[in-house]
């Protein structure tokens, strides 16, 4: 087992007159592939021009589309507006469906999140697949909430809770925590999430950096100074950077679950720094252009 599997939506982000390939899980898959990992992507796109563009982008990055991913009547889109602070807001046109069992070998790590985690009918298949794959794989999860698509808030939160309990590594933004549980401070919610099952809960706080909780305690890292072009893909880049760091440390795979649960403060801090760097490199460019290994290594060299 040396491959990762990402399950989730792929779409075209339309920002004014510009169009970018995106979708939170898709971005994570591309980010991992650009960092040198072998990745399969189970998604739902059409055999139209947008779908072909997504498939070509995935192939160029080194991501392998799982058979059956090109089955939608049309490829999803998201119209994006960016405010004066660089924050992105989305209006979606999509459907999310999955059928059958992916024709892939048991993965080392399986990632999901965002629309795929809560949008019917595909979210039901996602939950079943996570249950099946966690026997062999580390499960990583990013709720990446899209309120515009959520009709039943309580049901969405119940589905997020279900995946939380089955996840090993969770990344969530402070903004998402405030939507999921507006009655408690984000730090308190994160602690309750850690108690529900994950080994790591990492929380991003935009320009204030990030913190993470594990059995050994809490660590924090500052945001890296950078001129923000837009924040599209920032959280996905953080997620890819975090998975990559844990992969490099040899902490992924179900047989390493015990070691992951015992991760120390120093190792977790290193992982957060790597994730923060990946995010910083992404927000400095337009669209979800996650960095490759060469860009990450160059940034680390300059920092040293």
Average pLDDT of the residues in 176-181: 96
Confidence of residue 278 (pLDDT cuts 50, 70, 90): very high
Is 261 part of a structural domain of the chain?
Answer: yes
Q: What is the dihedral of CA 52, 63, 223, 256, to 10 degrees?
A: 150
Is 304 part of a structural domain of the chain?
Answer: no
Number of neighbouring beta carbons within 10 Å of residue 209: 17
Q: Rounded to the nearest 5 degrees, what angle is found at the Cα of 121, between the Cα atoms of 50 and 2? A: 70
Average per-residue pLDDT in the chain? Answer: 92
Whether residue 240 is predicted with pLDDT greater than 90 in this model: the reply is yes
- pLDDT tens, residue by residue, 182-231: 999 999 999 999 999 999 999 999 889 999 999 999 999 998 888 876 66
- pLDDT tens, residue by residue, 98-157: 977 787 888 999 999 999 999 999 999 999 999 999 999 999 999 999 998 898 999 999
Q: What is the pLDDT of residue 121?
A: 93
The CATH number of the domain holding residue 281 is 3.40.1190.20
* Percent of the chain with pLDDT strictly greater than 70: 95
Is 20 part of a structural domain of the chain?
Answer: yes
| Whole-angstrom distance, CA of residue 172 vs CA of residue 149 | 18
Of residues 91 and 230, the one with the higher pLDDT is 91
Domain count, the chain: 1
Is 299 part of a structural domain of the chain?
Answer: no
At residue 196, the 3 state secondary structure works out as coil
Which spans in the chain are helix H? 24-34, 49-61, 115-118, 122-133, 153-166, 174-180, 186-195, 234-248, 257-261, 265-283, 293-303
| Whole-angstrom distance, CA of residue 22 vs CA of residue 3 | 21
Average pLDDT of the residues in 9-16: 88
Whether residue 80 is predicted with pLDDT greater than 80 in this model: the reply is no
Confidence of residue 303 (pLDDT cuts 50, 70, 90): low
Nearest to 93 by CA among 159, 35, 149: 149
Is 297 part of a structural domain of the chain?
Answer: no
Whether residue 232 is predicted with pLDDT greater than 80 in this model: the reply is no
Whether residue 71 is predicted with pLDDT greater than 70 in this model: the reply is yes
Whether residue 304 is predicted with pLDDT greater than 60 in this model: the reply is no
Q: What is the pLDDT of residue 299?
A: 85
Query: What is the domain extent for residue 58?
Result: 4-291
Whether residue 88 is predicted with pLDDT greater than 70 in this model: the reply is no
């Amino acid at each position: 087992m040396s491959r990762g599997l990402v399950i989730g939506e792929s779409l075209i982000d339309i920002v004014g007159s510009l169009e970018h390939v995106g979708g939170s899980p898709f971005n994570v898959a591309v980010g991992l592939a650009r960092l040198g990992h072998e990745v399969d992507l189970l998604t739902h796109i059409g055999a139209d021009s947008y779908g072909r563009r997504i498939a070509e982008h995935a192939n160029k990055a080194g991501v392998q589309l799982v058979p059956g991913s090109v089955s939608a009547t049309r490829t999803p889109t998201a119209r994006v507006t960016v405010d004066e602070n660089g924050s992105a807001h989305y209006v979606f046109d999509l459907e999310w469906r999955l059928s059958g069992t992916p024709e892939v070998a048991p993965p080392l790590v399986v990632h999901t999140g965002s629309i795929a985690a809560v949008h019917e009918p595909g979210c039901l298949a996602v939950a079943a697949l996570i249950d099946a794959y966690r026997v062999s794989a580390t499960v990583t999860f990013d709720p990446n909430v899209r309120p515009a698509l959520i009709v039943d808030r309580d049901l969405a939160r119940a589905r997020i809770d279900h995946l939380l309990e089955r996840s090993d590594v969770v990344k969530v933004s402070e903004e998402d925590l405030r939507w999921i549980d507006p009655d408690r401070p984000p730090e308190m919610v994160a602690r309750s999430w850690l108690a529900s099952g994950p080994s790591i809960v990492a929380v991003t706080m935009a320009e204030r950096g990030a913190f993470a909780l594990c059995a050994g305690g809490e660590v924090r890292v500052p945001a890296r100074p950078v001129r923000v072009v837009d924040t599209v893909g920032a959280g996905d880049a953080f997620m890819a950077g975090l998975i990559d760091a844990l992969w490099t440390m040899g902490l992924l795979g179900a047989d390493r679950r015990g070691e992951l649960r015992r991760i120390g403060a120093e190792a977790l801090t290193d992982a957060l720094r790597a994730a923060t760097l990946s995010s910083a490199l992404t927000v400095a460019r337009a669209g979800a252009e996650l960095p490759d290994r060469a860009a990450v290594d160059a940034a680390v060299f300059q920092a040293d």
